[in-house]
Amino acid sequence: MTLFDGIYPFYPQQRKAASFDISIIIVIVVFLTLACSFLLIIPGIRGRARLYWTLRVLLSLFMGVVIVVVQFTGDWETGWVQANTSYKSFNRAVVNADIGLHIGLEGVNITLKGNPVKQINETINYNEYFSWSFSSNYDRSYSEGLEKGLPSPILYVAEKFSSQSPCAVHRQYRISGHYASATLWVAFCTWIISNILFSMPALVYGGYMLLVTGAFMTFSLLSFSTVRNSPMCLIQIGAATLHVAYGGSFWLTLVVGLLCFVAGITVVALHHLNLDLLKTFFDLREDKAEEHQEMAEVYVNSYFVNKALAPPQPSETNNL
């Protein structure tokens, strides 16, 4: 058995990137593939419609990739602090390190990086992940960290989120993250429906579904924000205090939710106020113009038309 990047390959590890992991990379690659596939066919679209198609498709893909990616990110709440702290239990050694806290929908990442990285004859660079999803056991992960002898700052911060902690935030974070994730998946489904409606085309209903998408993204933010209802215990590390604030994923979700509202309101408003402009943006008027042009090129035999319009001639039997 050999080491791969310093880790034994056949043993499960509680290590996960603080901001990115393999799930995020897979989602981004899938959406980039869709975007590149569209860019390959965009030269076949003529005129101003090419710009409209590019804007619509790339904007829609951006909304979709954000809705999915924020499910797996770990920076809905973040906090950093630099402090002089004890390194291990039953050891008087003090190190200077950066302690980071990254909270996601399904768990928490705790990082510890020395300043400098090599101190007291050790490399101080840790990143430990503790999951509180319904399919995992946070307290068991914390107990395994105790058995492995993780550094004291990591265990101290992780203990604040355990179910036995006096802080009592474990249940709140677990339920809030679960419902925030569920509403985001619903938003992803409504985003797919809106794209189907735009392609049918049923433009006004696609606009309504964009509004529903923005609403569910807002619900996810409200669900996660309920963790602030439970007062967070002070995380005192040495002489410094670790404070957490909303991170990049929270604000990115808010921006995309507002973008869905703006796009949906614009589509609905144009449908009622200026339908021709809306059809032009969705490349629908050009098709009708081509149909009228094709109808104008139809040739009619004037002989048969005149014969059909001529009055009927009296028959010879009537004259007799």
pLDDT digits (tens, 9 = 90+) for 260-309: 999 999 999 999 998 888 888 887 765 444 444 444 454 555 655 566 55
Question: What 3-state DSSP class applies to 85?
Answer: strand
Q: Which amino acid is at 140?
A: R
CA-based Rg of the chain, rounded to a whole angstrom?
31
Which token pair is 140? 């068991």
Residue at token pair 């106020």 = 273
Mean pLDDT, residues 154-171 taken together = 88
Q: How far is CA 153 from CA 96, 102, 170, 211, 317, in A?
A: 11, 14, 19, 44, 118
- How far is it, in rounded angstroms, from Cα 253 to Cα 222? 11
Confidence of residue 223 (pLDDT cuts 50, 70, 90): very high
- How are the residues of the chain apportioned to helix, strand and coil, as percentages rounded to the nearest 5? 55, 15, 30
Q: Which amino acid is at 318?
A: N
pLDDT tens sequence across 18-59: 555 688 888 889 999 988 988 888 887 777 888 888 899 999
pLDDT at 309: 58
pLDDT tens sequence across 236-250: 888 888 889 999 999
DSSP annotation of 226 reads G
Q: Alpha helices of 149-202 — where are they, by DSSP H?
A: 152-159, 170-199
Asked if 126 and 88 touch (Cβ cutoff 8 Å), the reply is no
- How far is it, in rounded angstroms, from Cα 252 to Cα 63? 10
